[in-house]
Chains A and B, each alone.
Chain A
Amino acid sequence: MSTAREYLRAIRGPVLLISLGILVIADHVGQLPFWRSWPVLLVVLGVMILLERSAIRPEGGPLS
């Protein structure tokens, strides 16, 4: 089991929460309304999952 993968999975929630916080702040400050900026969360989530996948090395990752 690769530890990098576990690490990335563990920080996925907090990173998304931080991104959400930043977007909501931007909304409240009045620069970027949240209804415009929310897809950033999708992009962040996708990038996190991509990183998680790329952290898997064939040496010992269990299938599934």
Chain B
Amino acid sequence: MNPVALFCRNCGRGLTEEEKSAAGTVYCSSCAPAFKAAAAPPPLPSSPAGGVPNPSVSPGLAFLLGLLPGVGAIYNGQYAKGLTHAFIFGMFVTAMERMHGGEPLVALVMSGFYFYMPFEAYHTAKKRQMGEPVDELSSLFKIGGSPDAFPWGPVAIIGAGVVFLLNNLDVIHFHQIIKFWPLALIVLGVIQLRQRISGRANSGMEGRP
């Protein structure tokens, strides 16, 4: 029996020097395949779901067009998303004009959104270039996401709709709400706190597009 060089990390079996160099890992030959499969990154999305890479798609052009609200998404063939982007941008401009006291916040969020659009178009174009299928409203709403994840997208839309409706019907005006914008920071903090405390195990899966 050869001297044991190391022990398999999974099952604890002793590994000899030859076995170690043959497997190339810290797992024994019976455990290595499973762990390699688990550790290996998912295969590059070169052609999942039968998609064909499309080299004529230019992410750079998508980025440039994305500087015009909505046009980047239209370049990617996502007309509904382009419309939504243009609409949201228009809402920001309107809010900017009508709001009294909340302009710095609106300006910040608006510029963030303005630069979000070209980058989003760039990444979507990149996906299309790789042949990955893109949803009409991809990265706006994760419709096919895990069913138990909280549906932030739709809830945000409904919330925005309710706020605008209350304002337009003269029930609660923007300037009465905008005073409480730091509440958003608190909510964000609480959400993160909850994730850090409870969801430690699957924190790596959060934020996957």
Interface status of A62 (Cβ within 8 A of chain B): yes
Which residue of chain A is the closest to B164 with respect to CB atoms?
A39
Interface residues on B, range: 20 to 34
Binary A-proximity of B141-171 (CB < 8 A = 1, otherwise 0) = 1111101000101111111111111001100
Chain A contacts of B138 at CB under 8 A? 64
Interface status of B120 (Cβ within 8 A of chain A): no
CA distance A57 to B144 in the complex (A): 10
Binary B-proximity of A21-56 (CB < 8 A = 1, otherwise 0) = 000000000000001111111110111011011101
Which residue of chain B is the closest to A34 with respect to CB atoms?
B168
Chain B contacts of A62 at CB under 8 A? 49, 144
Which of B153, B163, B164 counts the most A-chain CB atoms under 10 A from its CB? Answer: B164
Chain A contacts of B19 at CB under 8 A? none
Are B144 and A50 closer than 8 Å at their CB atoms? Answer: no
Number of interface residues of A (CB under 8 A): 26
Chain A contacts of B159 at CB under 8 A? 46
Which residue of chain A is the closest to B170 with respect to CB atoms?
A36
**Given contacts A36-B169, A53-B143, A62-B144, A43 and B155 within 8 Å (CB-CB):** no
Given contacts A39-B161, A43-B157, A46-B154, 13 further A-B contacts (CB under 8 A): A5-B143, A37-B165, A39-B160, A43-B161, A43-B162, A46-B156, A47-B154, A53-B143, A53-B151, A56-B143, A57-B147, A58-B147, A64-B142
Chain A interface (Cβ < 8 Å from any Cβ of B): 5, 9, 35-43, 45-47, 49-50, 52-54, 56-58, 61-64
